Amino acid sequence: MLERELQVTNKLGLHARAAAKLVQLLSGFRCQATLLGRGREVNAKSIMGVLLLAAAPGATLVMRVEGDDEAEALAAAAALFERGFDEEG
């Protein structure tokens, strides 16, 4: 199992479009992925789970991954967070 803190850097936070990008990205990996934030633990491959976190800009979340391709999944998710979910500004 791997774990990493990720910061929400885009202007709008983890809103529907950003959450969908994360879920779509992670769905391509076999490992299990979990996001922790605001006292909640959710399935990071579930759009409803990710939206439930209501992560605002600047929020810090913890991602846990476990499985065959966990390192690749965590690196890809971290890159998406660092790029601000490919949103302008």
CATH no. for 2-86: 3.30.1340.10
Active site residue 45: no
- Please state, in angstroms and rounded to a whole number, the distance separating the CA atoms of residues 68 and 80: 20
> What does the domain layout of the chain look like in residue ranges?
2-86
Q: Which secondary-structure segment (H or E) carries 37?
A: strand 32-37
- Please state, in angstroms and rounded to a whole number, the distance separating the CA atoms of residues 52 and 86: 21
- 54-83: pLDDT as tens digits: 999 999 999 999 999 999 999 999 999 999
CB atoms within 10 A of CB 18: 22
Is this model's pTM higher than 0.85 or not? Answer: yes
10 Å CB burial of residue 9 (0-12, 13-18, 19+) is middle
- Give yes or no for residue 89 having a pLDDT over 60: no
- 10-51: pLDDT as tens digits: 999 999 999 999 999 999 999 999 999 999 999 999 999 999
Q: What is the pLDDT of residue 88?
A: 75
Of 6, 8, 14, 15, which is the active-site residue?
15
